[in-house]
Amino acid sequence: MFRAVIFDWDGTLADTKKAVVESFKTVLTEIGCIVNDEFLERRIGTGTRKMLEDALDECNITFNHAMLEELAGKKVRLQTELSKHVTLFEGATDLLDALYGRVKIALATMSSRPVIDKLLTEKQIKKYFNAVVTADEISKPKPDPEIFLLAATKLNLPPQHCVVLEDSIFGVEAAKAAKMKCVAIPSGAYTKKELKKQKPNLLIDSLTQTQTILNYILQTQP
C-alpha cells in the first residue's frame, strides 16, 4: 500500500470554479482584459500568476512584475471573500475519513495560502492534513513536479510511496514527473477522455467511488 495520499484542491476535492473565475474576471476586467470562462477554467490549478500572465498575453497587454503582484493580491482578496461559493465534492469527506489514520494525507494546491487556510477551516477538514503546500511556497507551477515533491518532503516520505489525486492534465503530468502514481478524476475542466490520454494509474468518475479508490491506495504495491 501507499504511505501517503496527496490531494489537489481546485476541481479535485472542492468545486471552486465560481469563486476562481469571478475573482479573476473582476481584476482583469478592471484593466480591460476580457477572457471567457472556459479560458480561465482550463487553467485552474496552474497558479494565480501563471493564469494572469496567460490572460494578459491573450489580451495583448504588456505587464511587469509589479503589475502582476498588484493584480494577484487583488484576486486573492476577492477569492477569499467568495469562499461561500466553494463546496466540497460529494464523497470528499467520506474519502478523507476513510484514509485518516491509515496513511499520511497532504494537500498540494496552486491556490494561495490565505484562500486555503480560510477554506479548510470553514469546511471543517483542516484536521485531515498532515501537510499543506500552497502556491506561495513554490516557484514553478504544475506541470512541474515541485509542489508534489515538496509535499512528500514535508511528509518525510520518498515520492514512490505517494499517490496523487488530480483533476487536470497538467496535474497528472506533474504527479508522473514527480515519480508518483496518480488517480485522475474528471471533476474539473477536463474530460475523462482528455485525462485518459495522460495515462493516469487509475481513472475514476468521481470521489463517490470510495471503495475503488481505497482498494488502489491501500492494496497496491507502490
Together in a domain, 98 and 202: yes
Please indicate, yes or no, whether residues 44 and 100 belong to a single structural domain of this protein.
Answer: no
Contact 163, 182 (CB under 8 A): yes
pLDDT digits (tens, 9 = 90+) for 142-181: 999 999 999 999 999 999 999 999 999 999 999 999 999 9
Which residue among 84, 103, 127 closes a domain?
Answer: 84
Main-chain dihedrals φ then ψ at residue 203, nearest 5 degrees? -120, 120
74 and 101 together in one domain: no
Identify whether residues 102 and 170 lie together within a single domain: yes
pLDDT at 36 over 90: yes
Structurally, the chain folds into a number of domains equal to 2
Please state, for a pLDDT cut of 90, what percent of the chain lies above it: 97
Q: For 175-194, what is the mean pLDDT? A: 97
What's the CATH code of the domain at 41? Answer: 1.10.150.240
pLDDT score at 219:
87
Provide the pLDDT confidence category of residue 216 given band limits of 50, 70 and 90: very high
Query: Of 58, 84, 110, which residue constitutes the final position of a domain?
Result: 84
* 136 and 165 both lie in a single domain: yes
Nearest CA among 157, 160, 182 for reference residue 171 = 182
Residue with cell 488517480: 183
Q: Which domain holds residue 130?
A: 4-15+86-219
Domain boundary among 53, 84, 115: 84
Q: Does residue 76 sit in the same domain as residue 91?
A: no
- CA dist 121 and 170 (Å) reads 27
11 in the same domain as 30: no
Note whether 95 and 80 are same-domain residues.
no
Q: Are residues 208 and 106 in the same domain?
A: yes
Question: Dihedral (C-alpha) 98, 101, 102, 106: value to the nearest 10 degrees?
Answer: 90
Within the chain, where are the H helices? 17-30, 37-41, 48-58, 65-81, 92-99, 113-122, 146-155, 169-177, 192-196, 210-219
CATH number of the domain to which 135 belongs: 3.40.50.1000
Cell 494565480, located at residue: 48
Distant-in-sequence, close-in-space partners of 179: CB < 8 Å, separation ≥ 6: 145, 159, 160
CA nearest neighbour of 52 among 89, 27, 30: 27
Instruction: Specify the pTM.
Output: 0.94
Which pLDDT score, from 0 to 100, does residue 220 have? 73
Task: State residue 221's pLDDT score.
Answer: 67
